[in-house]
């Protein structure tokens, strides 16, 4: 029988992170820990070809090893697979996903523990990311939301989705989803590819499992953004490689928040979405023309136009793929429902 102890397991998934990781670890070494809540750091080597592991171990020794530090390997490429490996390794009940470019505020764990003790039904907790740019061009609009920066909800409390950076997951949720045979349909980044959506899918799966997804703006960290990621070309590439995830996310959202309506209602929503994206393209073109001398507005509207065009293309492309996605998510939902009280007692006993 495996027992999960109260505390935080900070999981850092790395792919060739040797350059940025020392700074990330510097912030982690400065964290305050809640009395009675031990902390461990798990570095997941996800197919690194540089000296990430050696740099990490050497750096952590320089900071006098304030917390336990473990290195594990995940040979399946991709952030989602690396996170699962980290979860399976973790000893403690709350899992902090700290990307290699996330710098957590020193009170991050103290604030988190206070919120989690007050709201035990939280399955996923996320905070506010402030952009820390290596280089800021004139057209850059500050805390740009596609990088998970800025507020994740209009107010503190229950929300629908959270970005994966800095997110804190209750390990009991993972165990319940594992019993329900949850498998990611989506994948997050794989090496240099910008595929995404695994974090959003996980949040919706958590909601399906009956837990709360929660936002708190007092939970603060910085997101370091390299210079090559603030170009128009990168943003367009990000849209094209990450936008397909939205079709899976929309199925989850439909089944959770639309009274479990069938696929006919889902197709009606997609038709309305086509009209919406068409209108948004026209509106963005108008705004872009009106403020054509404002570089920030031009940049944002070019981004919006690209996104809406890609969404129209994907909706039309996936017309015949939606039923399969719908079936997969519905089956997960039914398996979660079928976990009766007796089975849940067994799960509770195992944790």
The string of pLDDT tens digits covering residues 58-67 is 999 999 999 9
| Whether residues 12 and 65 fall in one domain | yes
Domain boundary among 193, 228, 263: 228
Above 60 in pLDDT, residue 2?
Answer: no
CATH label of the domain that carries residue 57: 3.90.550.10
Q: Which of 134-143, 150-159, 335-344 bottoms out in mean pLDDT, i.e. has the lowest?
A: 335-344
Residue 32 maps to a domain: yes
pLDDT score at 148: 80
Above 90 in pLDDT, residue 223?
Answer: yes
Above 50 in pLDDT, residue 74?
Answer: yes
Residue 220 maps to a domain: yes
| The most confident of 142-151, 178-187, 334-343, by mean pLDDT | 178-187
Q: Which of 174, 171, 11, 216 is nearest to 100 (CA)?
A: 11
Q: Which of 13, 10, 70, 6 is nearest to 38 (CA)?
A: 6
How confident is the prediction for the chain on average, in pLDDT?
Answer: 90
| Whether residues 292 and 213 fall in one domain | no
pLDDT score at 242: 82
pLDDT score at 188: 57
The whole-number average pLDDT for the span 91-119 is 96
Distance (Å, whole) CA 203 – CA 189? 17
| Whether residues 323 and 198 fall in one domain | no
| Whether residues 105 and 217 fall in one domain | yes
pTM: 0.87
Q: Which of 235, 280, 272, 275 is nearest to 250 (CA)?
A: 272
The whole-number average pLDDT for the span 103-115 is 96
| Whether residues 158 and 47 fall in one domain | yes
Above 70 in pLDDT, residue 3?
Answer: no
Residue 244 maps to a domain: no
119 or 134: which leads in pLDDT: 119
| Whether residues 185 and 96 fall in one domain | yes
1 band by pLDDT with thresholds 50, 70 and 90: very low
pLDDT score at 190: 58
Percent of the chain with pLDDT strictly greater than 70: 91
| Whether residues 219 and 288 fall in one domain | no
Residue 234 maps to a domain: no
pLDDT tens, residue by residue, 153-196: 999 999 999 999 999 999 999 999 999 999 888 865 655 555 56
Cβ-based neighbour number of residue 318 at 10 Å: 16
| Whether residues 210 and 328 fall in one domain | no
Domain boundary among 180, 213, 228: 228
Residue 1 maps to a domain: no
pLDDT score at 162: 94
Per the structure, the count of domains in the chain is 2
Distance (Å, whole) CA 169 – CA 123? 6
HEC-encoded secondary structure of the chain? CCCCEEEEEEEEEECCCCCCHHHHHHHHHCCCCCCCCCEEEEEEECCCCCCHHHHHHHHHHHCCCCCEEEEEECCCCCHHHHHHHHHHHCCEEEEEECCCCEEECCCHHHHHHHHHHHCCCEEEEEEEEEEEECCCCCCCCCCCHHHCCECCCCCCEECCCCCCCCCEEEHHHHHHHHHCCCCCCCCCCECCECCCCHHHHHHHHHHHCCCEEEEEEEEEEEEEECHHHCCHHHHHHHHHHHCCHHHHHHHHHHHHHCCCCCHHHHHHHHHHHHHHHHHHHHHHHHHHHHCCCCHHHHHHHHHHHHHHHHHHHHHHHCCCCHHHHHHHHHHHHHHHHCCCHHHHHHHHHHC
**Domain span at 259:** 252-350
Residue 23 maps to a domain: yes
| Whether residues 94 and 184 fall in one domain | yes
pLDDT tens, residue by residue, 261-297: 789 999 999 999 999 999 999 999 999 999 999 999 9
Above 70 in pLDDT, residue 346?
Answer: no
């Amino acid at each position: 029988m495996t027992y999960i102890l109260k505390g935080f397991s900070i999981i850092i998934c790395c792919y060739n992170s040797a350059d940025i990781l020392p700074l990330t670890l510097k912030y982690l070494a400065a964290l305050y820990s809640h009395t009675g809540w031990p902390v461990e750091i798990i570095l997941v080597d996800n197919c690194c070809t540089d000296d990430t592991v050696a740099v990490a171990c050497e750096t952590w020794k320089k900071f006098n090893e304030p917390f336990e530090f473990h290195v594990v390997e995940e040979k399946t490429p991709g952030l989602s697979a690396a996170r699962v490996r980290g979860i399976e390794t973790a000893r403690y009940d709350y899992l902090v996903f700290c990307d290699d470019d996330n710098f957590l505020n020193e009170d991050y764990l103290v604030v988190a523990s206070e919120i989690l003790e007050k709201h035990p039904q939280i399955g996923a907790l996320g905070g506010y990311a402030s952009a820390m740019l290596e280089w800021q061009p004139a057209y850059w609009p500050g805390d740009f939301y596609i990088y998970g920066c800025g507020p994740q909800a209009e107010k503190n409390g229950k929300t629908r989705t959270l970005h994966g950076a800095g997110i804190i997951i209750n390990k009991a949720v993972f165990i319940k989803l594992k019993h329900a045979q949850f498998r990611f349909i989506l994948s997050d980044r794989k090496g240099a590819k910008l595929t995404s959506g695994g974090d959003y899918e996980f949040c919706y799966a958590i909601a399906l499992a009956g837990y709360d997804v929660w936002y708190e703006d007092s939970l603060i960290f910085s997101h370091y953004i390299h210079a090559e990621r603030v170009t128009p070309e990168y943003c367009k590439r990000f849209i094209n490689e990450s936008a397909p995830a939205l079709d899976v996310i929309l199925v989850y959202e439909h089944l959770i928040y639309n009274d479990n309506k069938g696929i006919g209602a889902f197709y009606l929503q997609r038709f309305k979405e086509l009209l919406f994206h068409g209108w948004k393209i026209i509106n963005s073109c108008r705004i872009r023309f009106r403020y054509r001398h404002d570089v920030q507005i031009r940049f944002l509207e070019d981004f919006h136009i690209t996104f809406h065009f890609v969404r129209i293309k994907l909706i039309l492309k996936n017309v015949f793929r939606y039923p399969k996605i719908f079936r997969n998510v519905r089956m997960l939902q039914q398996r979660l429902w079928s976990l009766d009280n007796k089975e849940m007692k067994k799960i509770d006993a195992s944790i």
